Amino acid sequence: MKSSLVNRVLCLFFAIALLFTSVNIPVNAATQPNQKNIDRIAELTIQSDDGKETTITMFLTKGTKLDETIFQGINNGIKVTDINIKPVNDKDLRNFQALSSDGEIKPLFVDTIFDVGNFTISLVEFITEPTFWNGFYVVMDGAAVIFPGIPAISGVKRMIKNSDTLKESLKLGVKTYDELKDGRPYGWHRHHIFEKRFASRLGTHEDDMLCIAIPKEYHDPITSAMRKEIPYGSNYNKYTPDEIMDAHIKVYRNLWKETDDEVYEFLFKFASEKQHSVRR
């Protein structure tokens, strides 16, 4: 069940504050979190300065310590008013399995303010290899670390490790056109993952459409292929929204197969989620 907008915003503020708090959580680095090494459930009651409360549930792996000292120094009017830690039971493990995919925890709260899907990595993974993740825009929410604006895409870490271009791009993030205005390497373009000419047919506005920063040598082949798939100046009303999105997915799939390049692989997997815009 989705939390209310107020609770989502509250959780987001708490998550950002928690990320920048000095946290020392020993974990079992030899294993990925799964139903075998989760031994406790932690329920945190979070309160904002206006008195509103919400609860965040964390799955704790063996060796993970969680107490009030971890949350000292949280600002932004957010405080932890109660921590209830209890042994895990079979129902909890079934819930965890439902939230898990390929050994990665998906948190209970996976919405940003704009309700965009998120790519998640486990808290164990983040703490085990912090130097790899350094520089990415991440927050800690529930039992996972989240990359805002990126859908839950399998293999993102592998793609990043194999592609310096993708790593640089995702440090900037998947954002709207205006949000990617600053910080791009010289010569990099702001690429609409779904072309802005289709904004009206997709029921959105070009200012809300998601973009990624990529070099010109990646951008040009995409533009060329899309022109062949749906020519410029066509009557776009002849195409359904699904047909338009499927055309983009096809282009990215073909470019990935032709080049075996992780940038195109990421764009193919992102487009396959059909998340073309933020939702304001």
Assess whether 90 and 171 both reside in one domain.
Answer: no
- Give, as one character, the DSSP assignment of residue 136: S
Residue 229 forms part of a structural domain: yes
Domain boundary among 108, 123, 147: 147
Q: What is the pLDDT of residue 38?
A: 72
Is residue 176 located within the same domain as residue 194? yes
How crowded is the C-beta side of 207, counted as CA atoms within 13 Å? 1
Asked, for residue 279, whether it belongs to a domain, the answer is: no
57-66 burial, b if ≥16 CB within 10 A, otherwise e?
Answer: bbbbbeebeb
Phi, psi of 268 (to 5 degrees): -65, -45
Same domain, 121 and 243: no
> Does residue 277 fall inside a structural domain?
no
Neighbours of 209 (CB within 10 A): 20
Domain for residue 215, yes or no? yes
Identify whether 173 is part of a domain. Answer: yes
* Per-residue pLDDT tens digits for 50-86: 777 777 677 776 666 666 665 554 445 567 788 888 8
- What pLDDT is attached to residue 31? 30
Structural domain total, the chain: 2
Q: Report the Cα 214 to chain-centroid distance in Å.
A: 18
Do 90 and 31 share a domain, yes or no?
A: yes
User: Does residue 247 sit within a domain?
Assistant: yes
- 81 & 163 share domain: no
Are 135 and 13 in the same domain? yes
Q: Which residues of the chain have pLDDT under 50?
A: 1-35, 73-75, 101-117, 280
User: Which class for 238: exposed (0-12), middle (13-18), buried (19 or more C-beta within 10 A)?
Assistant: exposed
- Residues 243 and 198 placed together within one structural domain of the fold: yes
The structure tokens 């899907």 sit at 117
Which residues constitute the domain of residue 28? 5-147
pTM, two decimals, is: 0.62
Q: Which of 130, 147, 164 is the last residue of a domain?
A: 147
Cα separation, 266 vs 158, in Å, equals 11
Strands (E), the chain: 38-48, 53-61, 78-87, 100-101, 104-105, 119-122, 139-141, 144-147, 175-176, 188-192, 210-215
Find the DSSP H helices in 182-236. Answer: 216-229
The pLDDT of residue 211 is: 94
Please indicate, yes or no, if residue 280 is contained in any of the structural domains: no
161 with 264, same domain: the answer is yes
In three-state secondary structure terms, 183 is coil
Chain-centre distance for alpha carbon 269: 13
What distance in Å separates the CA atoms of residue 243 and residue 149, rounded to the nearest whole number?
Answer: 24
**Same domain, residue pair 60 and 99:** yes
Same domain, 133 and 176: no
With the CA atoms of 247, 252, 257 and 258 taken in that order, what torsion angle do they form, in degrees rounded to the nearest 10? 100
pLDDT at residue 26, rounded to an integer = 33
- Tell me: do 33 and 70 sit in the same domain: yes
pLDDT at 111: 30
**252 and 160 inside one domain:** yes
Q: Are 105 and 33 in contact (CB under 8 A)?
A: yes
Q: How far is CA 90 from the centre of its chain?
A: 29
Domain boundary among 115, 147, 179: 147
Asked if the structure places residue 278 within a domain, the reply is no
